[in-house]
Amino acid sequence: MILAGVSGVGLLIIIAALVRQALGLKAQLNMEVFRWLGNFLWILTAVYLYFLVVEFLTTTYAAHHHERSVASALLTGEYAWLFWLSVGLLAVSFISLFAQFMTRRYVLSLIVLAGVLVNLAAIGKRYLIVVTSQTHGTILPYETGTYSPTWVEYSIILGLMGLGILLYILFMKVFPIMEVEEGSQGG
């Protein structure tokens, strides 16, 4: 649930920056908005990284052998590259945002980059949650195996992302996201 908050705030930062640039809303979406969102994102990222460490300490120390098999595949096995890449992206994002907080000097492009990085990490982590438990756990009654998405699955993901963007744009047309000044009512 924390990862959903991390990726949600990261996506909100990206959308706000795009809307700010596309609609010229620099006065309404000023750096104070991005400062607040960036600070919220580094806090959520720190909480998620803490829970990630606790989860792996528990799984490697006192877990059932099937859970240890999944943890081993993530930490040192065939999925380690994606796991450590995701953790690294989260760590880079955290360090970048925390450094800005400590120095009180905020850079919009770094805040947006952190939003992109946490979303890439979230995609990788969600992939690992599903795939490793099905290839190295006991969820499916099959032997240990591998998985790689097909072009159809990639197309479905891209289509869903496009649909989400379209629905968001339509929502913004119907319900303006910024306060709209009322025009003068002439006689």
Structural domain for 169, as ranges: 150-175
Mean pLDDT by 10 residues, the chain (187 residues): 91 89 84 94 96 86 74 84 95 97 95 96 90 66 70 92 86 72 54
Q: Are residues 169 and 87 in the same domain?
A: no
**Identity of the residue numbered 117:** L
Q: Are residues 63 and 127 in the same domain?
A: yes
Contact assessment for residue 103 and residue 51, using Cβ atoms and an 8 Å cutoff:
no
Residue 34 lies in a domain: yes
Q: Check residue 58 and give its pLDDT.
A: 82
Residue 185 lies in a domain: no
Q: Check residue 187 and give its pLDDT.
A: 45
DSSP H helices, 104-148, are 108-135
Residue 116 lies in a domain: yes
Q: Check residue 183 and give its pLDDT.
A: 59
Neighbours of 108 (CB within 10 A): 19
Which residues have C-beta within 8 Å of that of residue 69, sequence separation ≥ 6? Answer: 136, 137
Q: Check residue 113 and give its pLDDT.
A: 97
Q: Are residues 110 and 157 in the same domain?
A: no
Q: Check residue 172 and give its pLDDT.
A: 78
Domain count of the chain?
A: 2
Q: Are residues 170 and 138 in the same domain?
A: no
Q: Check residue 28 and give its pLDDT.
A: 83
Q: Check residue 180 and give its pLDDT.
A: 59
Contact assessment for residue 5 and residue 44, using Cβ atoms and an 8 Å cutoff:
yes
Q: Are residues 60 and 129 in the same domain?
A: yes
Q: Are residues 21 and 62 in the same domain?
A: yes
How far apart, in whole angstroms, are the C-alpha atoms of residue 71 and residue 137?
10
